[in-house]
């Protein structure tokens, strides 16, 4: 939500809003300039804070500067900490040149930080912080290569942290400390209710999540895959105003006909103006060579080429807000006590499926690092960690196009409601499916509905470009770092090219992305 280059000694100067940034000495804090956001700078004797936050209403000045007494300063400060939408906040004490950075709950556009003895760099674009020499974190890289989802302050680049939800980073000359918030309470299931009462409550909770921010139909685009999550967001928007623009990536293979049918029905029934991108025309790049001037983020959208074409189209239509279905996968979890065994969890199933391929790929040292229980992950928060991690993969690329990502299904109040549902309402997303049948007709998402997936894209693509990859992998940066075994890499590539099986493909794709990142950092 902001970028900054701060010399800690400059904190002794009085800050001012100069029309584009909060300036003090030679230092600057630049908000992400966007109609969905507002900036507030509040000053009093010896201290100040600046916050960049999502707007609750449309319009108003993009930035305000207030000079207040100590009592009003405290009041404004508490108000900003309790802001119901997303925010990033910088607070400073001029005595001692001390600074604290805080984040809100939603994680819509997370801020990354790199601190040295006398300087702090901040950016919502992690690539900005890798212009200095950057080293790969061996433990994080090992977990990522093993396909472990990690949402934490600690990132794949040594010395760079991400401000996770509700976390804070305190910095003063020669010292920096990171603080996670307390975990949220364990979910308690709600009391039994009538079937229709659950449906009405879900519709009301969804409407509140959608209506929390001003919706301007002419400037808003909706990602519409044809799946339940994006369809739910579309119906939620239709309940408050008529959405206009939808955009989607069309898949190939056996999932294409049902995807076309569902998307067509949703577009027709909600009266949307629809734009599409063919995944076959915007295939993911497998070229491992660094692109001059391009800095990869720490979390990558694997289908960036197709997504970028979609987002570029949204911007060309005059849109500045992008509504997504991110968070839908996490709304209806199964709890351990509801499963036959811990081995039935999705995480355990995934671990078993990929274990053999991961063991072939990693060196013994990296395998041990990946198998170790880590203690650096962020605590459980109001928004599920996997939803926050998914947002982090895409947010910076969306923002570079002048779009603000809005993820209603990641709303903490909606998540809390859904997590408390009894099993029969959560299992198989039963409640969401009934909501969509009510809004769109029972034929749109019938019983036995099969979710569309991108899983078929990479196997055929890798098989077709195996020769190029073999040539480029004659030198392997991750092998030089001791993370992967060269023979294991080639064996995995050969296995994917021959079988096009999904499990080894997932492991190989993760490796290819990290290999490209390691080459970029040199």
Do 212 and 103 have their domain in common?
A: no
At 242 the pLDDT is 81
In a domain, 445, yes or no: no
pLDDT (tens digit per residue) in 469-516: 999 999 999 999 999 999 999 999 999 999 999 889 999 999 999 999
Q: Which residues contact 457 (CB under 8 A, 6 or more apart)?
A: 251, 252, 279, 283, 284, 303
pLDDT (tens digit per residue) in 47-78: 999 999 999 998 889 999 999 999 999 999 99
pLDDT at residue 152 tops 60: yes
In a domain, 200, yes or no: yes
The pLDDT confidence band at residue 453, using thresholds 50, 70 and 90, is: confident
At 346 the pLDDT is 55
Structure tokens that stand for 418 in this block: 């859904």
At 341 the pLDDT is 55
In a domain, 495, yes or no: yes
Do 214 and 305 have their domain in common?
A: yes
Do 355 and 416 have their domain in common?
A: no
From 144, 179, 214, the end of a domain falls on 179
Average pLDDT over residues 150-159: 94
Going by the DSSP 8-state scheme, the letter that residue 373 receives in this structure is: P
Q: Which residues contact 79 (CB under 8 A, 6 or more apart)?
A: none
At 301 the pLDDT is 75
At 374 the pLDDT is 85
From 179, 209, 230, the end of a domain falls on 179
Q: Which residues contact 493 (CB under 8 A, 6 or more apart)?
A: 462, 466, 469, 470, 473, 508
At 344 the pLDDT is 55
The pLDDT confidence band at residue 268, using thresholds 50, 70 and 90, is: very high
What is the average pLDDT score of the chain?
92
| The pairing of beta strand 321-323 with beta strand 220-223 | parallel
Please list the residues that pair with 92 across neighbouring strands: 48, 99
Q: Which residues contact 163 (CB under 8 A, 6 or more apart)?
A: 88, 101, 102, 103, 110, 111, 112, 113, 153, 169
Do 402 and 500 have their domain in common?
A: no
Q: What is the pTM of this model?
A: 0.94
| The pairing of beta strand 175-179 with beta strand 87-93 | unpaired
At 368 the pLDDT is 95
In a domain, 184, yes or no: no
CATH number of the domain to which 217 belongs: 3.40.50.620
- For the chain, how many structural domains are there in total? 3
pLDDT at residue 397 tops 60: yes
At 347 the pLDDT is 58
Do 310 and 261 have their domain in common?
A: yes
Do 408 and 434 have their domain in common?
A: yes
Domain encompassing residue 486: 343-376+456-521
Do 142 and 26 have their domain in common?
A: yes
Do 372 and 388 have their domain in common?
A: no
At 133 the pLDDT is 87
pLDDT at residue 378 tops 70: yes
In a domain, 85, yes or no: yes
pLDDT (tens digit per residue) in 315-364: 999 999 999 999 999 999 988 888 765 555 555 666 677 788 899 999 99
In a domain, 324, yes or no: yes
pLDDT (tens digit per residue) in 227-247: 999 999 999 999 988 878 999
Structure tokens that stand for 343 in this block: 């081995």
Please list the residues that pair with 322 across neighbouring strands: 221, 405
pLDDT (tens digit per residue) in 83-110: 999 999 999 999 999 999 999 999 999 9
Q: Which of 79-88, 115-124, 188-197, 350-359 has the lowest mean pLDDT?
A: 350-359
């Amino acid at each position: 939500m902001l970028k900054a280059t701060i010399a800690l000694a400059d904190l002794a100067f009085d800050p001012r809003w100069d029309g584009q940034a909060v300036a003090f000495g030679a230092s600057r804090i630049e908000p992400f300039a966007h109609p969905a956001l507002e900036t507030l700078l509040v000053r009093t004797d010896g201290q100040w804070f600046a916050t960049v936050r999502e707007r609750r209403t449309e319009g108003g000045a993009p930035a305000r500067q207030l000079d207040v007494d100590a009592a009003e300063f405290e009041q404004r400060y508490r108000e900003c900490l309790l802001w119901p939408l997303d925010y990033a906040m910088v607070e400073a004490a001029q005595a001692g040149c001390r600074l604290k950075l805080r984040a809100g709950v939603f994680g819509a556009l997370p801020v990354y930080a790199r601190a040295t003895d006398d300087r702090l760099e901040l950016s919502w674009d992690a690539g900005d912080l890798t212009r200095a020499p950057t080293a790969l974190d061996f433990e994080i890289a090992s977990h990522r290569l093993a396909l472990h989802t990690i949402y934490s302050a600690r990132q794949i680049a040594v010395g760079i942290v991400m401000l996770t939800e509700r976390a804070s980073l305190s910095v003063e000359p020669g010292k920096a400390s990171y603080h996670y918030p307390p975990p949220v309470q364990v979910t308690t299931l709600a009391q039994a209710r009538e079937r229709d009462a659950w449906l009405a409550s879900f519709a009301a909770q969804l409407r509140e999540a959608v209506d929390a921010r001003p919706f301007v139909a002419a400037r808003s685009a909706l990602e519409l895959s044809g799946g339940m999550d994006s369809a739910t967001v579309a119906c939620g928007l239709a309940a408050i105003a008529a959405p206009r623009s939808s955009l989607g990536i069309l898949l190939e293979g056996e999932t294409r006909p049902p995807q076309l049918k569902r998307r067509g029905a949703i577009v027709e029934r909600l009266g949307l103006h629809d734009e599409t991108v063919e995944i076959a025309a915007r295939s993911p790049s497998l070229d491992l060579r660094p692109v001059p001037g391009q800095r990869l983020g720490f979390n990558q959208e694997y289908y960036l080429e197709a997504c970028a074409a979609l987002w570029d189209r949204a911007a060309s239509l005059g849109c500045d807000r992008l509504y997504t279905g991110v968070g839908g996968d996490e709304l209806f979890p199964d709890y351990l006590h509801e499963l036959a065994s811990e081995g039935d969890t999705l995480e355990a199933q995934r671990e078993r499926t990929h274990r053999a391929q991961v063991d072939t790929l990693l060196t013994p040292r990296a395998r041990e690092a990946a198998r170790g229980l880590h203690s650096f992950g962020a605590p459980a928060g109001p928004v599920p960690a996997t939803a926050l991690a998914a947002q982090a993969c895409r947010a910076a690329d969306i923002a570079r196009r002048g779009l603000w990502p809005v993820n209603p299904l990641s709303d903490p109040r909606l998540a809390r409601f859904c997590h408390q549902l009894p099993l029969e309402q959560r299992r198989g997303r039963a409640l969401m499916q009934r909501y969509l049948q009510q809004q769109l007709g029972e034929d749109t998402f019938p019983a036995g509905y099969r979710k569309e997936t991108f899983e078929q894209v990479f196997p055929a693509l890798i098989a077709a470009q195996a020769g190029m990859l073999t040539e480029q992998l004659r030198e392997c940066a991750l092998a030089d770092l001791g993370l992967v075994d060269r023979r294991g890499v080639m064996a995995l590539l050969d296995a994917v090219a021959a079988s096009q099986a999904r499990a080894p493909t997932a492991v190989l794709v993760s490796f290819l992305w990290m290999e490209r990142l390691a080459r970029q950092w040199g």
